Structure 1
């Protein structure tokens, strides 16, 4: 089912504490290790709206169920961050108030979080140093130069 709603603003990732899944002692350099500021930049660059629109095409939430999500501010409460221990993007879904559709909402918000992470990984984030150096090389070469596979 396609959810026909306006794309909400992305979650504000500033002024957040350490995610519950992360041991505060594992965050070496404080909140900057979580790269939330960089993620907000990617959201402003289009990652959020692209991911939300993709999710909205496939979500099982009805418009009335989505309205409950919006009224509770659940999307704004979602958290996205870089886990410096696992070196991966992570997200947390807020606590969903109990009710008839709580389980469904929790599942759909988890799907939204996963969609956002995948969008960030596929088109916006390249924080793996090895991949980053390879990406720079490929962007700097001209279209006439042979690729690595052409040289073999």
Structure 2
């Protein structure tokens, strides 16, 4: 199906502890490396992930407009999970009072909520995969000094 919309700006990453999210299991994480991940998102990871997601999503433009109008795309959070050697993520969901806000009263169904929440989760997973596979290379950052003694 696909979605033909403008790529939104990448999210600014949250400073919250991922353990506070109901949908995240991050064990023993101490350094979330959000600055680096935010830089990767700005350098193209977000655009790459969004384009891939938009090409395959079953979300309609009307459903996407709900997520956009509620600023849900700004609420994504990505963090490094060293224990699992992965980029973890938290995908936002529609707030419980979304219908009361009357932004899009024509989309008044729980199937809409499910479709939007599922699609945002898919976007988060794609962005996580793109970050890990194409941008994250923590070992490349460390270079051993030349003057290490031989043992």
How many residue pairs match? The answer is 125
Greater helix proportion:
1
CA RMSD of aligned residues (A): 2.1
- 1:75 and 2:77 aligned: no
Shift of residue 86, structure 1, vs aligned partner: 2.0
* Structure 2 unaligned spans of 5+: 97-108, 144-151
Question: Equivalent residues in 2 for 1:3-152 (5 A)?
Answer: 3-14=3-14, 16-19=15-18, 20=21, 21=24, 26-28=28-30, 33-98=31-96, 99-100=109-110, 101-127=112-138, 129=139, 132=140
Q: Normalising by structure 2, what TM-score?
A: 0.74
* Structure 1 unaligned spans of 5+: 137-152
Could you give the per-residue CA deviations for residues 60-96 of structure 1, whole angstroms, max 9, x where no partner exists?
1111100000011111101111113323211111232
* Residue matched to 1:145: none
Task: Tell me how far apart the structure 2 counterparts of residues 82 and 41 of structure 1 sit (CA, whole Å).
Answer: 13
Q: Normalising by structure 1, what TM-score?
A: 0.74
